[in-house]
């Protein structure tokens, strides 16, 4: 008899659904296997108004179909949001996402200066209202140092706003891991790919565009630090795939778009990783319990069962004029979704 595992209320606390045809393709893939997911707001144009927010929530609901799934939405950080505006939309969002300008896909209208005084109007209101701050923490420095260079900014915000819940999104470095326990209001999400790959996997031989993302994968010691806190069930980290679909022709091109598409195989690979590390008892913490405690919500009841059975990852996901290549395309992984 095949080995099985049942996951309770699995959550993806950082994912990109995009919009239009891409939304229609990728949203059902996440809605099928997760109880909920935190959806990023860096559309074109980004979500900065209540009207845009409510419209996007409606489009997500239509795209996910009839699956039991809750989309947690965010808005794009601006330094001059009024307290009244944030109070009005507080119950419609789970957090606000801060992007430094130009650091990743569709972030050109992000924050141009990380001066705490300039950001304070919005941060003060968020702190008073209990709205978490989600941060893409990179500078515009040398690519391998961008996250590490951002650590003093995290420290400044955490110190200035001790009641503000701050999530260091998709951390990739040992420096970020080391910072986690220094401030009680700092937390982090970790992706699937950063638990597995290093920069050598991306560019050490033939360039692999479908492994290229921002923040870029780092050194073995960075990956190992992330893996350690994930599998030990550290209470301040949670799974956030940062699954970021781009059309095949934009990945396999000069000027390769940044993003790894992991949504359809995330649960299977997480089970495989935690099993290999004799840590299956901690998977619910990383995949669900920690996030619910950090964000202070109760996920809908949903269970997903996986079976230990080899599965060949599709070479392509295609629908609605979109073609997206997943991580591990055409490769065999060792866990499958129960049919």
pLDDT tens by residue, 222-244: 999 999 999 999 999 999 999 99
Which of 74-88, 104-118, 164-178, 210-224 is least confident?
104-118
* CATH tag, 11-302: 3.20.20.140
Contact at 8 Å (CB) between 133 and 206? Answer: no
Q: Where are the beta strands (DSSP E) in 267-333?
A: 303-307, 311-312, 317-319, 322-324, 332-333
User: What span, in angstroms and rounded, lies between the C-alpha atoms of 86 and 92?
Assistant: 10
Question: Would the pLDDT of 315 be above 90?
Answer: yes
What are the structural domain ranges in the chain?
A: 11-302
- Cα–Cα distances (Å) from 58 to 23, 86, 272, 336, in that order, read 12, 20, 35, 31
For residues 31, 269, 335, 272, the Cα torsion angle rounded to the nearest 10 degrees is -140
Q: Is the pTM of this model over 0.85?
A: yes
Residues 237-294: pLDDT tens digits? 999 999 999 999 999 999 999 999 999 999 999 999 999 999 999 999 999 999 999 9
Which DSSP string corresponds to 199-217? HHHHHSSS--GGG--SSPP
Residue 88 exposed, middle or buried by CB count within 10 Å (0-12, 13-18, 19+): exposed
Banded pLDDT at 339 (limits 50, 70, 90): confident
Question: Would the pLDDT of 1 be above 70?
Answer: no
The yes-or-no answer on residue 242 being catalytic is yes
Catalytic residue among 242, 284, 301, 310: 242
């Amino acid at each position: 008899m095949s080995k099985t595992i049942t996951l309770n209320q699995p959550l993806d606390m950082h994912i990109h659904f995009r919009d239009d045809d891409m939304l229609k393709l990728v949203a059902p893939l996440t809605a099928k296997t997760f109880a909920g997911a935190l959806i990023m707001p860096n559309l074109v144009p980004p979500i900065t108004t209540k009207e845009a927010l409510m419209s996007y929530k409606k489009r997500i609901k239509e795209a996910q179909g009839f699956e039991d799934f809750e989309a947690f939405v965010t808005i794009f950080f601006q330094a001059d949001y009024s307290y009244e505006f944030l109070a009005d939309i507080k119950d419609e969002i789970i957090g606000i996402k801060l992007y430094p300008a130009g650091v990743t896909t569709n972030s050109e209208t992000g924050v141009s200066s990380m001066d705490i005084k300039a950001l304070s109007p919005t941060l003060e209101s968020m702190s008073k209202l209990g709205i978490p701050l989600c941060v893409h923490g990179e500078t515009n420095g040398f690519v391998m140092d961008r996250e590490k260079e951002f650590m003093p900014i995290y420290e400044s915000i955490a110190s200035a706003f001790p009641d503000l819940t701050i999530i260091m999104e998709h951390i990739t470095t040992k420096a970020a891991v080391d910072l986690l326990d220094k401030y009680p209001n700092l937390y982090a999400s970790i992706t699937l790919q950063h638990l597995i790959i290093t920069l050598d996997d991306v560019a050490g031989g033939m360039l692999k565009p479908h492994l290229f993302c921002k923040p870029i994968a780092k050194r073995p010691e960075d990956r190992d630090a992330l893996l350690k806190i994930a599998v030990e069930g550290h209470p301040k980290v949670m799974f956030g795939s940062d699954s970021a679909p781009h059309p095949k022709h934009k990945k396999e091109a000069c000027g390769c778009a940044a993003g790894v598409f992991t949504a359809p195989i995330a649960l299977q690979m997480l089970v495989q990783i935690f099993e290999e590390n004799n840590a299956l008892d901690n998977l619910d913490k990383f995949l669900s319990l920690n996030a619910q405690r950090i964000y202070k919500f109760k996920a809908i009841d949903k269970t997903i069962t996986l079976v230990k059975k080899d599965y060949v990852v599709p070479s392509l996901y295609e629908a609605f004029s979109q073609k997206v290549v997943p991580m591990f395309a055409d490769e065999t992984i060792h866990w499958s979704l129960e049919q």
